[in-house]
Amino acid sequence: MGKTLTRKILEKHLKSGEIRLGTDIGLKIDQTLTQDATGTMAYLEFEAMGVPRVKTERSVAYIDHNTLQTGFENADDHRYIQSVAKKHGIWFSRPGNGICHQVHLERFGIPGKTLIGSDSHTPTGGGLGMLAFGAGGLDVAVAMGGGEYHITVSKVLKVELTGALSPWVSAKDAILELLRRLSVKGGVGRILEYTGPGVATLTVPERATITNMGTELGATTSVFPSDEVTRAFLAAQGREADWTPLGADPDAVYDEEMTVDLSAIEPLAACPHSPDNVRPIAELAGNKIDQVCIGSCTNSSYLDLMRVASILKGKTVHPSVSLVIAPGSKQVYTMLAQNGALADLIASGARILECACGPCIGMGQSPNSAGISLRTFNRNFEGRSGTADGQVYLVSPETAAASALTGVFTDPRTLGAFEKIEIPASFTVNDNMIVAPASKEEADSVEVLRGPNIKPFPVSGPLPESITAKAILKVGDNITTDHIMPAGAKILPYRSNIPYLSNFCFGVCDKEFPARCKQEGGGIVIGGANYGQGSSREHAALVPLYLGVKAVLAKSYARIHCANLANAGILALQFKNESDYDRIDQMDVLSLPDIRRAIKEKLPILLRDETKGFEIEVIPVMTDRERAMVAAGGLLNYTKSLS
Ligand code: MIC
Ligand code: SF4
């Protein structure tokens, strides 16, 4: 029986378990990446493990999220990460060098390797044929220390691509089409493996746009084969030696299949406030807009920005629109400067931002009140832009540029003649903003520089025999980690200061939540379906832990957040009967008698609503390893208990 590409890479990296659907396996991780908003915590955790030097083939620390330095906090964190990286064998990508996923694709990604990153869009590397996963900071710390990364074996969904994208239709529209069809839950428990004749028509940056936003489908990861197009991309990056051809066997057997005809796709937009709320641009055409933002790890490649420049060349941004552009990397920025495209962008009136996440994570450029903002990004969750009533639409670079000129939603196909932009035969390579780690001999003398913003992280205690606590908060479906632990310019600088961050926990849903937790000594959070979708930030588990949250009881969970809860030592429980969700009200007193024994011995778990006097069965969403971890009080305690 032929093998899928996913299976081939998994087999090569398997350290424990058996590759069988639904079982827990431990993988060897070849590469790791962190960014600064999750990196400080990941490196504090790595330090707590006491491993002197990373054991991976390549670990890179990027600075790209927290680059607005409105106080000392971000700059202090950058210094901490730079020094800790130098000491422990980690490469450091300096602020200004670009967005982690874009730079990693350009300079470090290698087909067939495993990569985990403390950022949910790490699957971008799948565009190069890597098996790349977003993970919590603690998982990344463990992988840096040579430990296994655990996943539950997902279904492999074959996505057969046929045809080729039409003029003015972009890879972004292809992934929006998948979101339209599958929704933000459609990828849960699945790895999307792209095959078929359409694959060869897509360049590596286009493939990376698609794997990047597979995260919004809830997918475990997404992967493309490594083919001649991959070879040409790596050769153009001066890295042909990193190339190996990789793909599924022709007779590979998949768990599920679907076909996407690239030639049938039209320009699309994800409407507020969910990436799967997709409509054709043609239906929105003519509606007035206020802002356009181009960039982010989804759409900031050289190809993307050259397409934008060719649309804007010789024209002026509409007077009622603010257009901002953030190139994805210093390489992209440099090449635009070298070939004159940057001058075209500037001349059109675009406001050029540094190479970083910027507005994507609410770091500036919040739209006006109720403003309509078209963004080439991957997330449009409510409030993420920094304007509570901002209306964010996710679109392709082509649609964004066309609309910036007209001031209304504009289908780029109405622009007329299409200028095909080819991927360059060689990129401008200059790695001078990537700092090598100290040698083993020098490492001892490197001092780790900590600022006053860095506070200790909370660690759970062992799971108690029984739990009695109030339903401290009840929320609905599709709660994102941006709801649980918001980001944005005001809060992000405190990612290494859990006590301060806790004041903002669940602020989007209920401003009183932190105060109520403090008053009640924590409690149990009741959630709907797909709880914790979105980012990989482990802060969405660590902050509730700090506030005394002992368990979450939801209809279903997003993968990374669920793992982060277990890592933090918080119980992730699921309703056996979804309708029981309606029976529990906020502030009901709940009890989980004999929970420790039930978790350890895999007994059925009964939850009692003491206020209303009924009992329901709940199911732990945990592998055997996670049961042991939660019983021990989280991954760090568990790891210590093993040694
Ligand atoms: C995001 O896009 O939400 C982030 C910011 O990149 C996060 C990581 C974080 O919260 O720091 C992600 O996607 O994991
Ligand atoms: Fe940065 Fe946005 Fe990408 Fe997250 S999604 S890594 S904030 S550019």
Decide: helix, strand or coil at residue 631: helix
Ligand 1, closest atom to CA 38? 11
381 with 243, same domain: the answer is no
Please list, in sequence order, all residues whose beta carbon lies within 8 angstroms of the beta carbon of residue 94, skipping any fewer than 6 positions away. 63, 82, 433, 434, 435
* CB 66 less than 6 A from any atom of ligand 1: no
Pocket test for ligand 2, best of 67, 93, 118, 119 (most atoms within 8 A of CB): 119
Supply 110's token pair: 């290698």
Residue 115 placed within a domain: yes
Residue 135's closest CA among 442, 560, 574, 515? Answer: 560
Ligand 1 midpoint to CA 120 (Å): 6
291 with 373, same domain: the answer is yes
d(CA 201, CA 306): 18
**What residues make up the domain containing 388?**
268-412
Residue 41's closest CA among 452, 454, 543? Answer: 454
Ligand 1, atom 5, residue with closest C-alpha? 361
* CB 363 less than 6 A from any atom of ligand 2: no
Supply 276's token pair: 């799967």
CATH code of 344's domain? 3.30.499.10
Ligand 1, closest atom to CA 357? 6
Give the residues across from 288 on adjacent strands: 408
* CB 360 less than 6 A from any atom of ligand 2: yes
Ligand 1, closest atom to CA 65? 5
Q: What are phi and psi of 223, to 5 degrees?
A: -145, 140
Residue 222 placed within a domain: yes
* CB 120 less than 6 A from any atom of ligand 1: yes
d(CA 479, CA 544): 14
Residue 115 Cα to chain centre, angstroms: 13
CATH code of 585's domain? 3.20.19.10
348 with 493, same domain: the answer is no
Residue 344 placed within a domain: yes
Q: What does the pLDDT read at residue 239?
A: 98
The side-by-side arrangement of strands in the sheet containing 190-195 is 221-223, 190-195, 155-162, 256-261
260 with 348, same domain: the answer is no
Ligand 2, atom 7, residue with closest C-alpha? 361
Ligand 1 midpoint to CA 189 (Å): 20
pTM over 0.75: yes
Residue 277 placed within a domain: yes
Q: What does the pLDDT read at residue 639?
A: 86
Residue 57's closest CA among 126, 112, 124, 122? Answer: 112
Q: Which ligand is nearest to the CA of 480?
A: 1
16 with 130, same domain: the answer is yes
Supply 66's token pair: 């927290």
The total number of residues shown for the chain amounts to: 643
Decide: helix, strand or coil at residue 173: helix
Give the residues across from 58 on adjacent strands: 31
Quickly count: other Cβ atoms within 10 Å of residue 22's Cβ: 10
Q: What does the pLDDT read at residue 312?
A: 98
d(CA 574, CA 525): 11
208 with 231, same domain: the answer is yes
Q: What does the pLDDT read at residue 203?
A: 98
Residue 191's closest CA among 27, 341, 394? Answer: 27
Count structural domains, the chain. 3
* CB 99 less than 6 A from any atom of ligand 2: yes
Q: Which ligand is nearest to the CA of 41?
A: 1
* CB 37 less than 6 A from any atom of ligand 1: yes
196 with 332, same domain: the answer is no
283 with 316, same domain: the answer is yes
207 with 255, same domain: the answer is yes
Q: What residue ranges of the chain have pLDDT lower than 50?
A: none
Ligand 1, closest atom to CA 360? 2
d(CA 307, CA 301): 10
* CB 297 less than 6 A from any atom of ligand 2: yes
Quickly count: other Cβ atoms within 10 Å of residue 197's Cβ: 12
Which residue, 264, 289, 304, sits at the end of a domain?
264
Ligand 1, closest atom to CA 560? 14
